Amino acid sequence: MTDQSSNQMWGGRFAAGPDAIMEAINASIGFDKRMAAQDIAGSRAHAAMLAATGVITDNDAEAIREGLLTVLSEIEGGTFQFSTALEDIHMNVEARLKEIIGEPAGRLHTGRSRNDQVATDFKLWVRDQLDAAESGLLALIKALLSQAEAGADWVMPGFTHLQTAQPVTWGHHMMAYVEMFGRDLSRVRDARARMNESPLGAAALAGTSFPIDREMTAKALGFDRPAANSLDAVSDRDFALEFLSVASISAVHLSRFAEELVIWSSAQFRFVTLSDRFSTGSSIMPQKKNPDAAELIRAKVGRIFGANTALMMVMKGLPLAYSKDMQEDKEQVFDAADNWMLALAAMEGMVKDMTGNRESLAAAAGSGFSTATDLADWLVRVLKVPFRDAHHVTGTLVAMAESRGCDLPDLSLADMQGVHEGITEDIFTVLGVENSVNSRMSYGGTAPAQVRAQIVRWQEFLAG
Protein backbone atom coordinates (compact mmCIF):
# COMPACT_ATOMS: atom_id res chain seq x y z
CA MET A 1 0.00 0.00 0.00
CA THR A 2 1.38 3.43 -0.95
CA ASP A 3 1.87 6.25 1.49
CA GLN A 4 -0.83 8.17 -0.35
CA SER A 5 -3.43 5.41 0.07
CA SER A 6 -2.41 5.04 3.72
CA ASN A 7 -2.97 8.73 4.29
CA GLN A 8 -6.40 8.49 2.67
CA MET A 9 -7.30 5.69 5.08
CA TRP A 10 -6.57 7.88 8.09
CA GLY A 11 -8.30 10.79 6.39
CA GLY A 12 -8.56 14.56 6.82
CA ARG A 13 -6.88 16.00 9.87
CA PHE A 14 -5.07 12.71 10.57
CA ALA A 15 -3.42 12.51 7.15
CA ALA A 16 -0.04 12.20 8.87
CA GLY A 17 -1.04 8.69 10.01
CA PRO A 18 -1.15 6.85 13.31
CA ASP A 19 1.27 9.20 15.10
CA ALA A 20 -1.09 12.13 14.62
CA ILE A 21 -4.04 10.09 15.85
CA MET A 22 -2.18 8.96 18.96
CA GLU A 23 -1.08 12.50 19.76
CA ALA A 24 -4.62 13.78 19.37
CA ILE A 25 -6.26 11.09 21.52
CA ASN A 26 -3.55 11.18 24.17
CA ALA A 27 -3.28 14.94 24.60
CA SER A 28 -5.36 16.73 27.23
CA ILE A 29 -3.69 20.14 27.12
CA GLY A 30 -6.60 21.53 25.11
CA PHE A 31 -8.74 21.45 28.23
CA ASP A 32 -6.58 20.73 31.28
CA LYS A 33 -4.66 23.99 30.83
CA ARG A 34 -7.52 25.43 32.88
CA MET A 35 -5.78 23.86 35.88
CA ALA A 36 -2.53 25.78 35.38
CA ALA A 37 -2.84 27.80 38.59
CA GLN A 38 -3.64 24.68 40.62
CA ASP A 39 -0.80 22.74 38.99
CA ILE A 40 1.73 25.44 39.82
CA ALA A 41 0.41 25.78 43.39
CA GLY A 42 0.85 22.03 43.88
CA SER A 43 4.36 22.09 42.44
CA ARG A 44 5.40 25.01 44.63
CA ALA A 45 4.15 23.20 47.74
CA HIS A 46 5.89 19.99 46.67
CA ALA A 47 9.21 21.76 46.01
CA ALA A 48 9.12 23.55 49.37
CA MET A 49 8.47 20.23 51.09
CA LEU A 50 11.31 18.49 49.23
CA ALA A 51 13.69 21.18 50.45
CA ALA A 52 12.38 21.03 54.01
CA THR A 53 12.94 17.26 54.13
CA GLY A 54 16.39 17.50 52.54
CA VAL A 55 15.44 15.71 49.33
CA ILE A 56 16.52 18.72 47.24
CA THR A 57 18.63 21.75 48.15
CA ASP A 58 17.22 25.09 49.22
CA ASN A 59 18.85 26.67 46.17
CA ASP A 60 17.08 24.28 43.82
CA ALA A 61 13.80 24.87 45.64
CA GLU A 62 14.21 28.64 45.32
CA ALA A 63 15.01 28.36 41.61
CA ILE A 64 11.94 26.18 41.11
CA ARG A 65 9.77 28.60 43.06
CA GLU A 66 10.88 31.62 41.04
CA GLY A 67 10.69 29.72 37.78
CA LEU A 68 7.14 28.56 38.49
CA LEU A 69 6.07 32.11 39.24
CA THR A 70 7.49 33.14 35.87
CA VAL A 71 5.57 30.36 34.13
CA LEU A 72 2.36 31.39 35.90
CA SER A 73 2.80 35.00 34.85
CA GLU A 74 3.31 33.92 31.24
CA ILE A 75 0.15 31.81 31.32
CA GLU A 76 -1.90 34.56 32.94
CA GLY A 77 -0.45 37.09 30.50
CA GLY A 78 -1.36 34.95 27.48
CA THR A 79 2.21 34.57 26.20
CA PHE A 80 2.72 30.93 27.16
CA GLN A 81 2.99 28.55 24.21
CA PHE A 82 1.03 25.34 24.90
CA SER A 83 2.09 22.21 23.05
CA THR A 84 -0.06 19.15 22.33
CA ALA A 85 3.13 17.14 21.89
CA LEU A 86 3.72 17.63 25.63
CA GLU A 87 0.29 16.08 26.29
CA ASP A 88 -0.93 17.92 29.39
CA ILE A 89 -0.60 20.96 31.61
CA HIS A 90 1.91 19.19 33.90
CA MET A 91 4.42 18.43 31.16
CA ASN A 92 3.91 21.83 29.52
CA VAL A 93 4.71 23.61 32.77
CA GLU A 94 7.69 21.38 33.56
CA ALA A 95 9.17 21.77 30.05
CA ARG A 96 8.92 25.54 30.22
CA LEU A 97 10.36 25.51 33.74
CA LYS A 98 13.39 23.62 32.42
CA GLU A 99 13.87 26.24 29.71
CA ILE A 100 13.87 28.95 32.37
CA ILE A 101 15.95 27.42 35.20
CA GLY A 102 17.68 24.43 33.63
CA GLU A 103 18.74 21.38 35.64
CA PRO A 104 16.89 22.09 38.91
CA ALA A 105 13.59 21.68 37.05
CA GLY A 106 14.32 17.99 36.68
CA ARG A 107 14.33 17.57 40.46
CA LEU A 108 10.79 18.92 40.90
CA HIS A 109 9.16 15.60 40.09
CA THR A 110 11.05 13.69 42.79
CA GLY A 111 8.70 11.73 45.03
CA ARG A 112 5.58 12.22 42.96
CA SER A 113 3.90 10.97 39.80
CA ARG A 114 1.61 12.52 37.27
CA ASN A 115 -1.05 10.33 38.87
CA ASP A 116 -1.03 12.07 42.24
CA GLN A 117 -0.19 15.37 40.57
CA VAL A 118 -3.30 15.40 38.39
CA ALA A 119 -5.50 14.17 41.23
CA THR A 120 -4.23 17.05 43.37
CA ASP A 121 -4.68 19.63 40.63
CA PHE A 122 -8.19 18.43 39.86
CA LYS A 123 -9.20 18.42 43.52
CA LEU A 124 -7.92 21.95 43.95
CA TRP A 125 -9.86 23.05 40.86
CA VAL A 126 -13.09 21.38 41.97
CA ARG A 127 -12.65 22.84 45.46
CA ASP A 128 -12.39 26.32 43.92
CA GLN A 129 -15.61 25.66 42.01
CA LEU A 130 -17.40 24.57 45.16
CA ASP A 131 -16.33 27.84 46.77
CA ALA A 132 -17.65 29.73 43.75
CA ALA A 133 -20.92 27.79 43.92
CA GLU A 134 -21.27 28.66 47.60
CA SER A 135 -20.90 32.35 46.77
CA GLY A 136 -23.42 32.06 43.94
CA LEU A 137 -25.96 30.24 46.10
CA LEU A 138 -25.60 32.75 48.94
CA ALA A 139 -26.19 35.64 46.53
CA LEU A 140 -29.27 33.94 45.09
CA ILE A 141 -30.67 33.17 48.55
CA LYS A 142 -30.23 36.82 49.58
CA ALA A 143 -32.06 37.97 46.44
CA LEU A 144 -34.94 35.60 47.21
CA LEU A 145 -35.07 36.81 50.82
CA SER A 146 -35.43 40.39 49.58
CA GLN A 147 -38.33 39.39 47.36
CA ALA A 148 -39.93 37.44 50.20
CA GLU A 149 -39.60 40.33 52.62
CA ALA A 150 -41.13 42.80 50.15
CA GLY A 151 -44.13 40.54 49.46
CA ALA A 152 -44.57 38.62 52.70
CA ASP A 153 -48.31 39.42 52.73
CA TRP A 154 -49.05 39.50 48.99
CA VAL A 155 -51.65 36.86 48.15
CA MET A 156 -51.27 34.62 45.14
CA PRO A 157 -52.58 31.22 44.07
CA GLY A 158 -50.79 28.13 45.24
CA PHE A 159 -50.86 25.31 42.73
CA THR A 160 -50.88 21.55 42.58
CA HIS A 161 -50.86 19.96 39.11
CA LEU A 162 -50.51 23.60 37.92
CA GLN A 163 -54.14 24.06 38.96
CA THR A 164 -55.30 26.51 41.61
CA ALA A 165 -55.21 24.77 44.97
CA GLN A 166 -55.14 27.20 47.93
CA PRO A 167 -54.10 30.81 48.39
CA VAL A 168 -50.53 31.35 49.52
CA THR A 169 -48.33 34.41 49.84
CA TRP A 170 -45.65 35.62 47.47
CA GLY A 171 -43.22 35.58 50.36
CA HIS A 172 -44.05 31.96 51.10
CA HIS A 173 -43.40 30.98 47.49
CA MET A 174 -40.05 32.79 47.46
CA MET A 175 -39.09 31.13 50.73
CA ALA A 176 -39.77 27.69 49.23
CA TYR A 177 -36.85 28.33 46.87
CA VAL A 178 -34.74 29.66 49.73
CA GLU A 179 -35.17 26.25 51.36
CA MET A 180 -34.26 24.45 48.12
CA PHE A 181 -31.14 26.49 47.45
CA GLY A 182 -30.31 26.29 51.14
CA ARG A 183 -30.13 22.51 50.83
CA ASP A 184 -27.86 23.00 47.80
CA LEU A 185 -25.66 25.21 49.94
CA SER A 186 -25.51 22.50 52.60
CA ARG A 187 -24.56 19.89 50.00
CA VAL A 188 -21.82 22.14 48.62
CA ARG A 189 -20.34 22.57 52.08
CA ASP A 190 -20.61 18.86 52.85
CA ALA A 191 -18.95 17.92 49.57
CA ARG A 192 -16.11 20.37 50.16
CA ALA A 193 -15.42 19.02 53.64
CA ARG A 194 -15.47 15.41 52.44
CA MET A 195 -13.13 15.94 49.49
CA ASN A 196 -10.57 18.05 51.34
CA GLU A 197 -7.85 15.39 51.58
CA SER A 198 -4.58 15.73 49.67
CA PRO A 199 -3.53 13.06 47.12
CA LEU A 200 -0.08 14.64 46.75
CA GLY A 201 2.67 12.23 47.73
CA ALA A 202 0.71 9.10 46.85
CA ALA A 203 2.98 9.00 43.76
CA ALA A 204 2.03 6.53 41.03
CA LEU A 205 -0.04 4.28 43.33
CA ALA A 206 2.15 2.89 46.14
CA GLY A 207 3.64 5.96 47.81
CA THR A 208 7.36 6.75 47.63
CA SER A 209 10.60 5.74 49.33
CA PHE A 210 11.68 9.38 49.65
CA PRO A 211 11.27 10.88 53.14
CA ILE A 212 8.47 13.26 52.11
CA ASP A 213 6.17 15.12 54.49
CA ARG A 214 2.61 14.76 53.20
CA GLU A 215 1.19 16.67 56.17
CA MET A 216 3.28 19.67 55.11
CA THR A 217 2.06 19.73 51.52
CA ALA A 218 -1.53 19.10 52.60
CA LYS A 219 -1.42 22.07 54.93
CA ALA A 220 0.30 24.29 52.35
CA LEU A 221 -2.51 23.59 49.86
CA GLY A 222 -5.33 24.10 52.36
CA PHE A 223 -6.26 20.44 52.71
CA ASP A 224 -7.37 19.11 56.09
CA ARG A 225 -5.14 16.05 55.88
CA PRO A 226 -3.35 13.79 53.38
CA ALA A 227 -5.42 10.98 51.83
CA ALA A 228 -4.80 7.83 53.88
CA ASN A 229 -4.42 5.24 51.09
CA SER A 230 -2.16 5.81 48.10
CA LEU A 231 -4.13 3.47 45.81
CA ASP A 232 -7.36 5.28 46.58
CA ALA A 233 -5.74 8.71 46.42
CA VAL A 234 -4.74 8.43 42.76
CA SER A 235 -7.84 6.55 41.58
CA ASP A 236 -10.53 8.47 43.47
CA ARG A 237 -12.81 10.73 41.48
CA ASP A 238 -15.65 10.71 43.99
CA PHE A 239 -15.04 14.40 44.58
CA ALA A 240 -15.78 15.14 40.92
CA LEU A 241 -18.80 12.84 40.89
CA GLU A 242 -20.13 14.46 44.05
CA PHE A 243 -19.56 17.90 42.57
CA LEU A 244 -21.61 16.89 39.54
CA SER A 245 -24.30 15.31 41.72
CA VAL A 246 -24.61 18.48 43.80
CA ALA A 247 -24.64 20.56 40.62
CA SER A 248 -27.35 18.34 39.12
CA ILE A 249 -29.66 18.66 42.12
CA SER A 250 -29.12 22.41 42.22
CA ALA A 251 -29.77 22.56 38.48
CA VAL A 252 -33.14 20.88 39.06
CA HIS A 253 -34.07 23.67 41.46
CA LEU A 254 -32.86 26.32 39.04
CA SER A 255 -34.84 24.72 36.23
CA ARG A 256 -38.04 24.46 38.26
CA PHE A 257 -37.86 28.13 39.16
CA ALA A 258 -36.96 29.04 35.58
CA GLU A 259 -40.05 27.16 34.40
CA GLU A 260 -42.22 29.13 36.81
CA LEU A 261 -40.72 32.42 35.64
CA VAL A 262 -41.45 31.47 32.03
CA ILE A 263 -45.07 30.73 32.96
CA TRP A 264 -45.50 33.67 35.31
CA SER A 265 -44.15 36.22 32.82
CA SER A 266 -46.54 35.08 30.08
CA ALA A 267 -49.49 37.22 28.95
CA GLN A 268 -51.83 34.58 30.35
CA PHE A 269 -50.46 34.91 33.90
CA ARG A 270 -48.76 38.32 34.22
CA PHE A 271 -47.56 37.40 37.72
CA VAL A 272 -44.11 38.90 37.20
CA THR A 273 -42.37 41.36 34.94
CA LEU A 274 -38.80 40.43 34.11
CA SER A 275 -36.33 43.22 33.48
CA ASP A 276 -35.12 44.05 29.99
CA ARG A 277 -31.64 42.94 31.08
CA PHE A 278 -32.83 39.32 31.26
CA SER A 279 -35.33 39.30 28.39
CA THR A 280 -35.19 39.75 24.63
CA GLY A 281 -37.59 40.98 21.99
CA SER A 282 -38.94 39.08 19.03
CA SER A 283 -37.39 39.61 15.61
CA ILE A 284 -40.85 39.88 14.05
CA MET A 285 -43.45 40.42 16.79
CA PRO A 286 -42.90 43.81 18.45
CA GLN A 287 -45.27 43.12 21.36
CA LYS A 288 -43.27 40.18 22.69
CA LYS A 289 -40.80 40.11 25.56
CA ASN A 290 -39.19 36.69 25.77
CA PRO A 291 -37.83 35.24 29.04
CA ASP A 292 -34.71 33.94 27.30
CA ALA A 293 -32.49 33.85 30.38
CA ALA A 294 -34.98 31.61 32.20
CA GLU A 295 -35.34 29.36 29.17
CA LEU A 296 -31.58 28.99 28.80
CA ILE A 297 -31.21 28.12 32.48
CA ARG A 298 -33.86 25.46 31.97
CA ALA A 299 -31.93 24.06 29.00
CA LYS A 300 -28.50 24.05 30.65
CA VAL A 301 -29.71 21.41 33.10
CA GLY A 302 -29.34 18.84 30.31
CA ARG A 303 -25.64 19.58 29.99
CA ILE A 304 -25.09 19.25 33.72
CA PHE A 305 -27.03 15.98 33.91
CA GLY A 306 -25.13 14.72 30.88
CA ALA A 307 -21.79 15.46 32.53
CA ASN A 308 -22.85 13.59 35.65
CA THR A 309 -23.87 10.52 33.67
CA ALA A 310 -20.77 10.64 31.44
CA LEU A 311 -18.32 10.64 34.33
CA MET A 312 -20.14 7.81 36.10
CA MET A 313 -19.84 5.79 32.90
CA VAL A 314 -16.10 6.54 32.70
CA MET A 315 -15.47 5.42 36.27
CA LYS A 316 -17.83 2.48 36.68
CA GLY A 317 -15.57 -0.29 35.31
CA LEU A 318 -12.06 0.82 36.24
CA PRO A 319 -9.83 -1.44 38.35
CA LEU A 320 -7.43 0.19 40.80
CA ALA A 321 -5.44 2.30 40.47
CA TYR A 322 -5.05 4.70 37.54
CA SER A 323 -6.25 4.09 33.98
CA LYS A 324 -5.97 6.47 31.05
CA ASP A 325 -9.78 6.47 30.89
CA MET A 326 -9.60 8.92 33.77
CA GLN A 327 -8.26 11.59 31.44
CA GLU A 328 -11.90 11.86 30.37
CA ASP A 329 -12.87 13.12 33.83
CA LYS A 330 -12.31 16.82 33.29
CA GLU A 331 -14.09 18.16 30.23
CA GLN A 332 -17.51 17.20 31.59
CA VAL A 333 -16.76 18.76 34.96
CA PHE A 334 -15.40 21.93 33.39
CA ASP A 335 -18.49 22.30 31.21
CA ALA A 336 -20.91 21.55 34.04
CA ALA A 337 -19.16 24.01 36.35
CA ASP A 338 -19.29 26.77 33.73
CA ASN A 339 -22.98 26.24 33.14
CA TRP A 340 -23.91 25.91 36.81
CA MET A 341 -22.08 29.12 37.75
CA LEU A 342 -23.66 30.95 34.82
CA ALA A 343 -27.14 29.68 35.68
CA LEU A 344 -26.76 30.72 39.33
CA ALA A 345 -25.61 34.20 38.33
CA ALA A 346 -28.41 34.60 35.76
CA MET A 347 -31.06 33.44 38.22
CA GLU A 348 -29.80 35.83 40.88
CA GLY A 349 -29.95 38.66 38.36
CA MET A 350 -33.49 37.80 37.33
CA VAL A 351 -34.70 37.51 40.92
CA LYS A 352 -33.12 40.84 41.93
CA ASP A 353 -34.60 42.65 38.92
CA MET A 354 -38.03 41.03 38.63
CA THR A 355 -41.20 42.79 39.75
CA GLY A 356 -44.08 40.86 41.22
CA ASN A 357 -47.39 42.14 39.87
CA ARG A 358 -49.37 42.33 43.10
CA GLU A 359 -52.75 43.04 41.53
CA SER A 360 -52.53 40.15 39.07
CA LEU A 361 -51.38 37.81 41.82
CA ALA A 362 -54.27 38.83 44.08
CA ALA A 363 -56.83 38.51 41.31
CA ALA A 364 -55.62 35.01 40.50
CA ALA A 365 -55.49 34.03 44.18
CA GLY A 366 -59.27 34.08 44.48
CA SER A 367 -59.97 32.17 41.29
CA GLY A 368 -60.54 28.47 40.86
CA PHE A 369 -62.42 28.06 44.18
CA SER A 370 -59.13 28.42 46.03
CA THR A 371 -60.81 28.72 49.44
CA ALA A 372 -62.78 25.47 49.13
CA THR A 373 -60.47 23.76 51.63
CA ASP A 374 -61.10 26.60 54.09
CA LEU A 375 -64.82 25.96 53.80
CA ALA A 376 -64.34 22.24 54.46
CA ASP A 377 -62.02 22.99 57.40
CA TRP A 378 -64.64 25.34 58.86
CA LEU A 379 -67.30 22.63 58.70
CA VAL A 380 -64.99 20.28 60.58
CA ARG A 381 -63.73 22.81 63.11
CA VAL A 382 -66.99 24.64 63.90
CA LEU A 383 -69.77 22.16 63.13
CA LYS A 384 -67.73 19.04 63.99
CA VAL A 385 -68.66 17.48 60.65
CA PRO A 386 -66.45 14.46 59.75
CA PHE A 387 -63.92 15.59 57.17
CA ARG A 388 -65.14 13.17 54.48
CA ASP A 389 -68.67 14.56 54.87
CA ALA A 390 -67.33 18.12 54.87
CA HIS A 391 -65.44 17.32 51.67
CA HIS A 392 -68.71 16.17 50.07
CA VAL A 393 -70.63 19.27 51.20
CA THR A 394 -67.91 21.54 49.91
CA GLY A 395 -67.79 19.70 46.59
CA THR A 396 -71.53 20.20 46.19
CA LEU A 397 -71.22 23.93 46.89
CA VAL A 398 -68.31 24.21 44.42
CA ALA A 399 -70.44 22.55 41.75
CA MET A 400 -73.27 24.97 42.51
CA ALA A 401 -70.98 27.99 42.23
CA GLU A 402 -69.46 26.63 39.03
CA SER A 403 -72.87 26.16 37.45
CA ARG A 404 -73.76 29.77 38.27
CA GLY A 405 -70.43 31.15 37.05
CA CYS A 406 -69.52 32.60 40.42
CA ASP A 407 -67.08 31.90 43.25
CA LEU A 408 -67.85 30.41 46.67
CA PRO A 409 -68.04 33.77 48.53
CA ASP A 410 -70.69 34.87 46.00
CA LEU A 411 -73.15 32.16 47.08
CA SER A 412 -75.83 33.28 49.53
CA LEU A 413 -76.20 31.91 53.04
CA ALA A 414 -79.49 30.38 51.95
CA ASP A 415 -77.74 28.59 49.09
CA MET A 416 -75.23 27.11 51.51
CA GLN A 417 -77.83 26.16 54.11
CA GLY A 418 -79.70 24.34 51.37
CA VAL A 419 -76.72 21.97 51.21
CA HIS A 420 -76.02 21.89 54.97
CA GLU A 421 -78.47 23.54 57.35
CA GLY A 422 -75.86 24.10 60.06
CA ILE A 423 -73.86 26.65 58.06
CA THR A 424 -73.98 30.14 59.56
CA GLU A 425 -72.98 33.65 58.52
CA ASP A 426 -69.59 32.97 60.12
CA ILE A 427 -68.63 30.94 57.05
CA PHE A 428 -67.91 34.13 55.12
CA THR A 429 -65.07 35.02 57.49
CA VAL A 430 -62.96 32.17 56.11
CA LEU A 431 -63.78 32.38 52.41
CA GLY A 432 -61.70 35.47 51.53
CA VAL A 433 -58.14 34.80 50.35
CA GLU A 434 -56.70 37.21 52.94
CA ASN A 435 -58.50 35.34 55.70
CA SER A 436 -57.32 32.06 54.24
CA VAL A 437 -53.61 32.89 54.22
CA ASN A 438 -53.73 34.60 57.62
CA SER A 439 -55.22 31.46 59.14
CA ARG A 440 -52.35 29.21 58.02
CA MET A 441 -50.31 29.79 61.17
CA SER A 442 -48.87 26.30 61.53
CA TYR A 443 -45.06 26.23 61.56
CA GLY A 444 -43.84 26.64 57.99
CA GLY A 445 -47.27 27.80 56.84
CA THR A 446 -48.10 30.60 54.45
CA ALA A 447 -49.39 33.15 56.97
CA PRO A 448 -47.41 36.39 56.66
CA ALA A 449 -46.33 36.12 60.31
CA GLN A 450 -44.88 32.67 59.65
CA VAL A 451 -43.20 33.86 56.45
CA ARG A 452 -41.56 36.75 58.28
CA ALA A 453 -40.37 34.41 61.02
CA GLN A 454 -38.68 32.21 58.41
CA ILE A 455 -37.10 35.25 56.77
CA VAL A 456 -35.61 36.27 60.13
CA ARG A 457 -34.35 32.72 60.71
CA TRP A 458 -32.53 32.75 57.38
CA GLN A 459 -31.17 36.25 57.86
CA GLU A 460 -29.71 35.17 61.20
CA PHE A 461 -28.23 32.06 59.58
CA LEU A 462 -26.55 34.11 56.87
CA ALA A 463 -25.28 36.66 59.36
CA GLY A 464 -23.86 34.06 61.69
Looking at the annotation, which residues are catalytic? 161, 282
Q: What value, to the nearest 5°, has the Cα angle with vertex 455 and ends 451 and 456?
A: 120
Find residue 290's DSSP bridge partners. 280
Nearest to 453 by CA among 115, 149, 28: 149
Angle in degrees, 0-180, between the axes of helices 3-10 and 18-26, rounded to the nearest 10: 30
Bond preceding residue 321 cis, omega within 30 of 0: yes
Distance CA 72, CA 409 (A): 72
DSSP state at residue 283: S
DSSP state at residue 411: S
Other CB atoms within 10 A of residue 296 CB:
15
- Residue 142: phi and psi, rounded to 5, are -65, -40
Distance CA 237, CA 252 (A): 23
Quick check: 448 and 456 in contact, CB under 8 A? Answer: no
> In angstroms, what CA-CA distances link 100 with 66, 68, 192, 371, 405?
10, 9, 36, 77, 84
| Helix residue ranges per DSSP H, 324-432 | 330-353, 358-365, 372-383, 387-404, 413-419, 428-431
> In angstroms, what CA-CA distances link 67 with 35, 42, 105, 150, 188?
18, 14, 9, 55, 35
> In angstroms, what CA-CA distances link 106 with 32, 82, 109?
22, 19, 7
Distance CA 140, CA 151 (A): 17
In whole angstroms, how large is the CA radius of gyration of the chain? 31
Nearest to 100 by CA among 68, 132, 72, 75: 68
Quick check: 158 and 175 in contact, CB under 8 A? Answer: no
